[in-house]
Every structure is written in structure tokens, then in C-alpha cells.
Amino acid sequence: MDLQLSGARAIVTGGSGAIGRAVARGLAAEGARVALVARDPKRLLAGADELRRTGADVLAVPADTTDDAAVRAMADAVVAAWGGIDVLVNTAAQPATPTPPTLEELTDAAVTVDFDTKVLGYLRCARAVAPHMRRQKSGRIVNVSGLNARRTGSISGTIRNVSVAALTANPADELGPDGIGVVVVHPGLVDTGRVPAAVAYQAAETTSVRRLVTVEEVADVVVFLCSPRAAGITGDAVTVAGGNRGAVHY
């Protein structure tokens, strides 16, 4: 299937992370131009160089998504280079901890950092690209959240991921008449090669397929949702976790 992404102008935040890099590779493989965004310039440039070696058209734009001025400058830089923005994939977030703090241990500061980086960070990026997408009457925004939106176990993780789902549904209604789709993807624990064996085994037992999904499997779904082929999907959540064993969602 041709995903109709050839020449598309895509922004991937969290571009130095495992999922961000995999999504960028997937978009580039479909012929999209990719602007990688991350706050660590060294890791960002390394990721951009790796992608360029595949022949992709890549921009590396250092930006911290907790800084609204930096986010707006990032969007302006992409428009200046390519004339517009067709796709935004939000993946920038604080890494989840293998053992989340208990209620008594959880600090206001930890929740604030989680919320500022992921929820408000995604909001800042969507707000910066929306005017450009409105003008061209088309666009796709994919917010990568997490299965904690549907599970207990991490208070801060659930708060931020449920909030991202809300941040998806509301803009989808507002932007839909302008031809812009907004979707949230909930990965489960992803096999990055760095997950401790005991944690991976325990998490795999909660899936229908009895294994962790890979970053490539997550990226494949995200890339499809970035495409015009997914125009019928908006305001909703797609889970990529190998099945959420024992739960029924409808």
C-alpha cells in the first residue's frame, strides 16, 4: 500500500529516543522529509546523521518542548526550510521508571515535570503547527502516550497519559473541519534492548502475545496514522502493546 507520504514534511519530537528514531526511519522510508527535534544537540545530530545515511532529507532542530518560544522557533524553522508542515509526531517525554514511586513517595515536582514535558510539551507543539496545517487544509498529528492510560501502577504515568488522550480528542474536534486528524497511540512496555529481563518477563505476561512489542512495531502503526490513508481515524486511541490481556475496551 502506498501511504502517500512521499515528500511529506514531518516533525518528530523526542527524535533522539528509541521510538522517535524508529518513527523517523519509518517516515523516511516512505519518502517523507523528517525534522528531528530533541533537546540534547549531540544525540540529535547523531540521530540525524544516521538517518541521512539512508538518503533521507533531514533537518536537525534542537529544542526543549518545555520552552514555548523554542517550540515556536522550531516550527518556524521547518516552515522556512520546507514551506509547510504536514505531520507532527509527539514522542518527547520523561522516561518512565521501572519502579514507580508510591503515593507517599510521589512528589509534586515529579508530577509537574512529567506534565510539563509530555502534556504541555505536546500542547505547545500542536499549537505551533496548527496554523500552518489550517492554512493548507490538511495535516496529521500523532501523540505517542502509553498504556498507563488504561492501567494502574504509576500515578504520574496514568495522569500524564490520560491527559494526552484528552489533548488528542479535543483538538481533533476543533481541527477536523480543516482536514487535520489527531490521534493518540498507547504503546505498552517496548523492547528497546535495555529493559531488565525480570521487568520484561513480567510485562510480557500481561500481553496477549506473551512478549513485548518492538520499537519498529510501534513505529509501523504511527507511520500509518501519519498518512492520508488514515484520514478516517481521528480523536481516538490506538493501542500498540501486543494486546492488553484480561481487559475489554469498547
Taking the C-alpha atoms of residue 210 and residue 245, their distance in angstroms, rounded to an integer, is 9
Q: Which residues contact 39 (CB under 8 A, 6 or more apart)?
A: 62, 63, 64, 65, 92
- Band of pLDDT at residue 158, cut at 50, 70 and 90: very high
Taking the C-alpha atoms of residue 100 and residue 102, their distance in angstroms, rounded to an integer, is 7
* Residue 19, pLDDT above cutoff 80: yes
**100 or 129, greater pLDDT:** 129
Q: Which residues contact 124 (CB under 8 A, 6 or more apart)?
A: 65, 68, 71, 72
The pLDDT of residue 82? 98
- The answer to whether residue 245 sits within a structural domain is no
- Select from 46, 225, 11 the least CA-distant residue to 121: 11
* Residue 97, pLDDT above cutoff 80: no
- Band of pLDDT at residue 222, cut at 50, 70 and 90: very high
The pLDDT of residue 94? 83
* Residue 169, pLDDT above cutoff 80: yes
Taking the C-alpha atoms of residue 42 and residue 110, their distance in angstroms, rounded to an integer, is 26
Domain residues for the domain of 119 are: 9-239
- The answer to whether residue 249 sits within a structural domain is no
State the number of CA atoms in the 13 A half-sphere of 96 facing the CB. 24
- The answer to whether residue 90 sits within a structural domain is yes
Residue 155 sits in a domain of what CATH number? Answer: 3.40.50.720
Number of domains in the chain: 1
- Band of pLDDT at residue 209, cut at 50, 70 and 90: very high
* Residue 250, pLDDT above cutoff 80: no
- The answer to whether residue 247 sits within a structural domain is no
- The answer to whether residue 230 sits within a structural domain is yes
From residue 111, give the alpha-carbon distance in Å to each of 64, 97, 108, 115, 148: 18, 13, 5, 6, 14
For residue range 105-140, list pLDDT tens digits in order: 999 999 999 999 999 999 999 999 999 999 999 999
- The answer to whether residue 1 sits within a structural domain is no
* Residue 4, pLDDT above cutoff 90: yes
